[in-house]
């Protein structure tokens, strides 16, 4: 049967082009791969090759023709046994997919907004452990190590890799003792090669293991950003659900003290934006432990943002065999009716300190610790704001595109009529972190700024 | 067409040789059809064809065992067909349809098959190299005797993460075969203009990784080198194969082909075509008749046409698919 040769699309955006030159004439025999014509697109002149073998029966579009639409028949190819009588040219083949897409658009469901799994139940002020549970004082550092060790005992496919995690016992001593208990097969010192070992971690997760990849700090994870975002977060989607990267990327995030601009950045807002990632940023030791255990068991890539200054702080931790904290459930640290203060991670230090001082002045703040940023328990924020009618957010990250600005937009869209004042975002200053002690202190968010913001929204 | 005579006596049976012919021809005809569907607007975006490089994957697959893994770049159609993935599913992914391997959500550059141990299809140049080393890490951890083929091009060979992966693969003796598919052009920049080493595999020496250059237009040479590499990787850790090949078509569909001459491409096609070479071997050795090969051609044409029909007829994914597969609810079971 005669084959129509159609005007090809030669780039992702081409709709029409100029048939600059025919390199074959009627009666020529062509085989697959032969150059038939030169076609000019808006970008370049391209060669157009034959796909099928045969004889050029008829040239339908003369060379020099401009504005030839894609899929217009430009020539007829006769295959073995065809005669010129077979050349009944038809209308150009329709690009069905495009037409169909247009009609589908009309009935597309309203934007669903978020792919985040919602929390099972919103937060309340009751503790995460059963009444009567024995509590022990533990540092964040110890709680983190215990969380990892418990999960490594539970599942032999869980392993820890990173710089100085094994023999050095952890650059910040988080992995202290793990090498002794689990051996060099499961506690692995890597070279200083973030992009490479992050990629190896993701590949190991594809292959069925449950890696915990430690970044000495998240500042160095920028070297590995492509593997985290493009390989870990997107593969489940791109594979139609066939495979993904169940793993944890963890390490200290945000400002430490006096380490300057390149070692002091809060990445919460960056990672929070990525569908496919889950993001935890705990404050208390019990949450570090419970969320780490949940993160290791989660079948998705989890970004676990720790804080160096918090590592040494002590909190009550329940003495339980298997203490876990669910993702997407905020914790209400303090109930109040005058204003809602929302924070997470080290931001909670400022929020709680400000709430204590405000209480002395008779202002009762409700303080919410988000604990995870993706999924985010916006339901608890909204419920609180509908009660207090005012909200202040607190974080150390930069203001533009901050976690707080996202929270503000959610409140505006979902609880606009309940607001008695604009939401204020207390953030780190919009500058690279300075080294000088006085400047550094000023660059971070301060308790006083939180107090001032609360007074502003409560018109006190 | 005169094909260069293979220098070595084939150490394969006539049946195997015919199978390589068939597998290479399937890739070529499939890619030609994909190019045609692209021209018709049925395939969108980026589409990187494998025409000319068929002997690389067919030769290496002949050296692989069941359970071995493979991972590659965005020029991935050939790898998928060679490891036994269904042409219908591959073509339907190219057209972005429900019947595609990723339900239409991955496209030409992002396809996977847990069943066939094919771990993608990766769109960022060289990202698959550490990922491949990681797959090998998982096999070593489980001590299961499997190896991973991590394919990348001469262009990717200039990315830093390749050498980060080489270093750790050598340190930890990962069962990984790093396959450099050297088609001589990184997009439009020739090896000479982009790469300081004339022999890229020699860069492995700095890490203590053995390797060799292989004639990638000779499927039997590729198979032989592949067997050696696999044996090394299973026992002693990483190995590098730099397979010298040639891509007849552009880097992607929108390649203006200004960086090389038409004559250069034609010369390769005429003198070094890997499919013609096997065809000559089969005919000259009286392992097959013209009619036998015609029957194979016909069968392949049918398979490819069916895949194109399937890819056109398969419906577009349901709009609900926009919101699925973002988060897993349970850990995917290993194939």
Q: Are residues A309 and A243 in the same domain?
A: yes
Please list every residue in chain B whose beta carbon sits closer than 8 Å to the beta carbon of residue A11.
Answer: 253-254
Active site residue A114: no
Q: Are residues A282 and A314 in the same domain?
A: yes
What are the pLDDT digits (tens) for A118-131? Answer: 555 667 777 889 99
Task: Tell me how close the Cα of A13 comes to any Cα of chain B, in angstroms.
Answer: 8
Q: Determine the pLDDT at residue A42.
A: 74
Mean pLDDT, rounded, of chain A: 91
Q: Determine the pLDDT at residue A104.
A: 42
Q: Is residue B333 part of a domain?
A: no
**Tokens at residue B92, please?**
């339907």
Q: Is residue B331 part of a domain?
A: no
Last residue of a domain, one of A29, A61, A89: A89
Last residue of a domain, one of A32, A64, A89: A89
Nearest to B334 by CA among A210, A266, A319: A210
Q: Are residues A283 and A176 in the same domain?
A: yes
Q: Which domain holds residue A147?
A: 135-318
Q: Are residues A313 and A369 in the same domain?
A: no
How far apart CA A282 and CA A307 sit, in angstroms, is: 9
Q: Is residue B18 part of a domain?
A: yes
Least confident of A99-113, A402-416, B114-128: A99-113
Q: Is residue B8 part of a domain?
A: no
How far apart CA A201 and CA A160 sit, in angstroms, is: 9
User: What was the ipTM of the complex prediction?
Assistant: 0.93
How far apart CA B69 and CA A109 sit, in angstroms, is: 39
What are the pLDDT digits (tens) for B130-147? Answer: 999 999 999 999 999 999
Active site residue A442: no
Q: Determine the pLDDT at residue A217.
A: 96
- Cβ pair A246:B330 closer than 8 A: no
How far apart CA B27 and CA B300 sit, in angstroms, is: 9
- Cβ pair A193:B136 closer than 8 A: no
Q: Is residue A386 part of a domain?
A: yes
Is the pLDDT at A35 greater than 90, yes or no? no
Output phi, psi for B244, to 5 deg.
-85, 115
Please list every residue in chain B whose beta carbon sits closer than 8 Å to the beta carbon of residue A239.
Answer: 101-102, 106, 110-112, 114, 120, 325
Q: Determine the pLDDT at residue B26.
A: 98
List, in order, residues 6 or more apart from A419 with CB less than 8 Å away.
A385, A389, A390, A391, A411, A412
Q: Is residue B2 part of a domain?
A: no
Contact predicate B67/B117, CB 8 Å = yes
Q: Are residues A173 and A259 in the same domain?
A: yes
- Cβ pair B133:A200 closer than 8 A: yes
Cis link prior to A375 (omega < 30° from 0)? yes
Q: Determine the pLDDT at residue B6.
A: 52
Number of domain units in chain B: 1
Secondary structure (3-state) at A134? coil
CATH number of the domain that residue A313 is part of: 3.40.50.970
Interface of B with A in 197-216 (CB under 8 A): none
* Facing A12 at nearest CB: one of B45, B119, B316: B45
Q: Is residue A235 part of a domain?
A: yes
- pTM as predicted: 0.89
Please identify which of the residues A4, A163, A194, A214 carries the catalytic annotation. A194
Q: Is residue B298 part of a domain?
A: yes
User: What's the whole-number mean pLDDT along residues A263-285?
Assistant: 97
CATH number of the domain that residue A59 is part of: 2.40.50.100
Give chain B's length: 335
What are the pLDDT digits (tens) for A219-267? Answer: 999 999 999 999 999 999 999 999 999 999 999 999 998 999 999 999 9
Secondary structure (3-state) at A164? coil
**Tokens at residue B261, please?**
């001459």
Please identify which of the residues A53, A164, A263, A440 carries the catalytic annotation. A263
Q: Determine the pLDDT at residue A118.
A: 56
Please list every residue in chain A whose beta carbon sits closer than 8 Å to the beta carbon of residue B42.
Answer: 95, 97
Q: Is residue A151 part of a domain?
A: yes
Please list every residue in chain A whose beta carbon sits closer than 8 Å to the beta carbon of residue B39.
Answer: 6-10, 48, 70
Q: Are residues A151 and A285 in the same domain?
A: yes
Number of domain units in chain A: 3
Secondary structure (3-state) at A76? strand
Q: Is residue A129 part of a domain?
A: no
Output phi, psi for A416, to 5 deg.
-55, -45
Secondary structure (3-state) at A102? helix
CATH number of the domain that residue B41 is part of: 3.40.50.970
Q: Which domain holds residue B290?
A: 14-311
- For an interface test with A, the pick among B270, B327, B333 (most A C-beta atoms closer than 10 Å) comes out as B327
Q: Is residue A109 part of a domain?
A: no
Nearest to A296 by CA among A101, A121, A154, A108: A154
Q: Are residues A242 and A301 in the same domain?
A: yes
Q: Is residue B334 part of a domain?
A: no
A289 CB within 8 Å of a chain B CB: no
Q: Are residues A306 and A187 in the same domain?
A: yes
Interface of B with A in 112-131 (CB under 8 A): 112-114, 119-124, 127, 129-131
A278 CB within 8 Å of a chain B CB: yes
Q: Are residues A310 and A280 in the same domain?
A: yes
A326 CB within 8 Å of a chain B CB: no
Q: Residue B282: left (phi > 0), alpha (psi -120 to 50), or beta?
A: alpha
Q: Is residue A375 part of a domain?
A: yes
């Amino acid at each position: 049967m005669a084959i129509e040769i159609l005007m090809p699309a030669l780039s992702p955006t081409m709709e029409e082009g100029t048939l600059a030159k025919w390199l074959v004439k009627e009666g020529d025999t062509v085989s697959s791969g032969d150059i038939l014509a030169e076609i000019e697109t808006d970008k370049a002149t391209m060669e157009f090759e034959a796909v099928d073998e045969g004889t050029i029966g008829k040239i339908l579009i003369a060379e020099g023709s401009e504005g030839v639409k894609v899929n217009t028949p430009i020539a007829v190819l006769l295959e073995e046994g065809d005669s010129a009588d077979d050349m009944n040219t038809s209308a150009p083949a329709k690009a069905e997919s495009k037409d169909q897409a247009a009609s589908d658009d009309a009935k597309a469901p309203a934007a669903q907004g978020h792919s985040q799994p919602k929390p099972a139940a919103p937060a309340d002020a009751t503790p995460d452990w059963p009444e009567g549970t024995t509590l022990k004082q533990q540092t964040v550092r110890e709680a983190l190590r215990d969380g990892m060790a418990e999960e490594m005992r539970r599942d032999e496919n869980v392993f820890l890799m990173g710089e100085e995690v094994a023999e050095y016992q952890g650059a910040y001593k988080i992995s202290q003792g793990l090498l002794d208990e689990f051996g060099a097969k499961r506690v692995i010192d890597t070279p200083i090669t973030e992009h490479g070992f992050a990629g190896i971690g993701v590949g190991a997760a594809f292959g069925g293991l449950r890696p915990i990849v430690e970044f000495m700090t998240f500042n160095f994870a920028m070297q590995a950003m492509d593997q985290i975002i493009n390989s870990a977060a997107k593969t489940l989607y791109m594979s139609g659900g066939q495979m993904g990267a169940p793993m944890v990327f963890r390490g200290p995030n945000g400002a430490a003290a006096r380490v300057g601009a390149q070692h002091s950045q809060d990445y919460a807002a960056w990672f929070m934006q990525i569908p496919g990632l889950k993001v935890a940023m705990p404050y208390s030791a019990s949450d570090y432990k419970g969320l780490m255990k949940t993160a290791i068991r989660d079948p998705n890539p989890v970004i676990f943002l720790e804080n160096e200054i918090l590592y040494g702080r002590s909190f009550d931790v329940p003495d339980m065999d298997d203490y876990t904290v669910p993702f997407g459930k905020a914790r209400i640290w303090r109930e109040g009716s005058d204003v809602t203060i929302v924070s997470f991670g080290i931001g909670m230090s400022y929020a709680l300190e400000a709430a204590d001082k405000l209480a002395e002045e008779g202002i009762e703040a409700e303080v919410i610790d988000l604990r995870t940023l993706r999924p985010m328990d916006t339901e608890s924020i909204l419920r609180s704001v509908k009660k207090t009618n005012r909200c202040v957010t607190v974080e150390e990250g930069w203001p533009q595109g901050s976690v707080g600005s996202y929270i503000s937009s959610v409140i505006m869209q979902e609880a606009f009529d309940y607001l008695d004042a604009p939401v204020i975002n207390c953030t780190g200053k919009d500058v690279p972190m300075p080294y000088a002690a006085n400047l550094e202190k000023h660059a971070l968010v301060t308790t006083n700024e939180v107090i001032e913001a609360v007074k502003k929204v409560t018109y006190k | 067409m005169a094909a260069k005579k293979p220098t070595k006596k084939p150490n394969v049976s006539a049946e195997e040789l015919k199978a390589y012919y068939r597998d290479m021809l399937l890739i070529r005809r499939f890619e030609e059809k994909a190019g045609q569907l692209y021209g018709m607007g049925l395939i969108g975006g980026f589409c990187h064809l494998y025409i000319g490089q068929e002997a690389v994957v067919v030769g290496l697959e002949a050296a692989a065992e069941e359970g071995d893994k493979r991972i590659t770049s965005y020029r991935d159609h050939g790898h998928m067909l060679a490891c036994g993935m269904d042409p219908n599913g591959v073509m339907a992914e190219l057209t972005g349809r429900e019947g595609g391997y990723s339900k239409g959500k991955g496209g030409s550059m992002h396809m996977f098959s847990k069943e066939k141990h094919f771990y993608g299809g990766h769109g960022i140049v060289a990202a698959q190299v550490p990922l491949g080393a990681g797959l090998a890490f998982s096999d070593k951890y489980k001590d299961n005797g499997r190896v991973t083929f991590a394919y990348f091009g001469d262009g990717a060979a200039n990315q830093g993460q390749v050498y980060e992966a080489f270093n750790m693969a050598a340190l930890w003796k990962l069962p990984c075969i790093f396959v450099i598919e050297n088609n001589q052009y990184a997009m439009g920049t020739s090896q000479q203009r982009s790469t300081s080493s004339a022999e890229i595999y020699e860069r492995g020496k700095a890490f203590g990784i053995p390797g060799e250059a292989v004639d990638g237009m000779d499927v039997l040479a590729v198979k032989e080198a592949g067997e050696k590499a696999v044996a090394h990787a299973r026992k002693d850790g990483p190995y590098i194969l730099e397979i010298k090949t040639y891509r007849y078509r552009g880097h992607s569909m929108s390649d203006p082909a200004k960086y090389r001459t038409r004559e250069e491409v034609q010369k390769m096609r005429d003198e070094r075509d890997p499919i013609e070479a096997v065809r000559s071997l089969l005919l000259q050795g009286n392992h097959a008749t013209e009619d036998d090969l015609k029957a194979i051609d016909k069968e392949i044409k049918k398979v490819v046409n069916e895949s194109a029909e399937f890819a056109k007829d398969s419906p577009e994914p349901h709009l609900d698919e926009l919101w699925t597969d973002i988060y897993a609810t349970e850990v995917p079971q290993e194939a």
